[in-house]
């Protein structure tokens, strides 16, 4: 698949990704009291997706070189990585016991803990969001 084709594909299907993320974002509104950070995260993700989609549209509109899309993607990746805690607060495993989290816990709960760990601590549902965990050093576990 050539770069031109990739630009066309992104320009054609990009809106669906944005719509899907915003639809998910609407669903997250019912979980505001324990999922505010994750709701914001899908909003940020949809903005980043919109950025890449808009770049593809501009490239087609002004007949710019297709390789410029790589620049847009690189820019979005840099933004996402420097704001990792805000853009991607999702974890697949419980912060406390490492058990795999269900899809609802992953998408709707900021705590990133399983239901039984939260019950065990008797935390109220409106616990303030935990501060983002620092990244683990490379090589360490």
Residues near Zn ion, by CB under 5 A: 94, 96-97, 114, 117
Residue with Cβ nearer Zn ion (87 or 118):
118
Report the nearest approach of Zn ion to the CB of residue 11 (Å). 43
Structure tokens at 67: 């390789």
Q: 93 in helix, strand or coil?
A: strand
Name the nearest CA neighbour of 87 among 38, 18, 17, 22.
Answer: 38
Report the nearest approach of Zn ion to the CB of residue 96 (Å). 4
Residue with Cβ nearer Zn ion (55 or 107):
107
Residue with Cβ nearer Zn ion (53 or 108):
108
Residue with Cβ nearer Zn ion (37 or 113):
113
Residue with Cβ nearer Zn ion (65 or 102):
102
Backbone CA torsion sign across 78, 82, 83, 84: positive
Name the nearest CA neighbour of 17 among 46, 51, 60.
Answer: 46
Report the nearest approach of Zn ion to the CB of residue 115 (Å). 8
Q: 98 in helix, strand or coil?
A: coil
Report the nearest approach of Zn ion to the CB of residue 17 (Å). 31
Q: How far apart are CA 36 and CA 34, in angstroms?
A: 6
Report the nearest approach of Zn ion to the CB of residue 27 (Å). 24
Cβ proximity of 18 and 32 under 8 Å: no
């Amino acid at each position: 698949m050539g770069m031109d084709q990739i630009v066309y594909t992104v320009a054609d299907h990009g809106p669906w990704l944005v719509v899907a993320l915003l639809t998910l974002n609407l669903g997250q509104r019912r979980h505001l009291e324990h999922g505010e950070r994750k709701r914001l995260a899908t909003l940020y993700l949809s903005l980043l997706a919109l950025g890449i989609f808009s770049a593809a549209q501009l490239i087609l509109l002004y007949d710019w070189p297709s390789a410029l899309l790589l620049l847009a993607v690189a820019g979005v990746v840099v933004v996402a990585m420097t704001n990792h805690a805000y853009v991607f607060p999702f974890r697949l495993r419980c912060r406390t016991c490492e058990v795999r989290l269900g899809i609802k816990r992953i998408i709707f709960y900021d705590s990133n803990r399983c239901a039984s760990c939260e019950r065990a601590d008797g935390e109220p549902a409106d616990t303030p969001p935990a501060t983002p965990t620092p990244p683990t050093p490379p090589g360490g576990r």
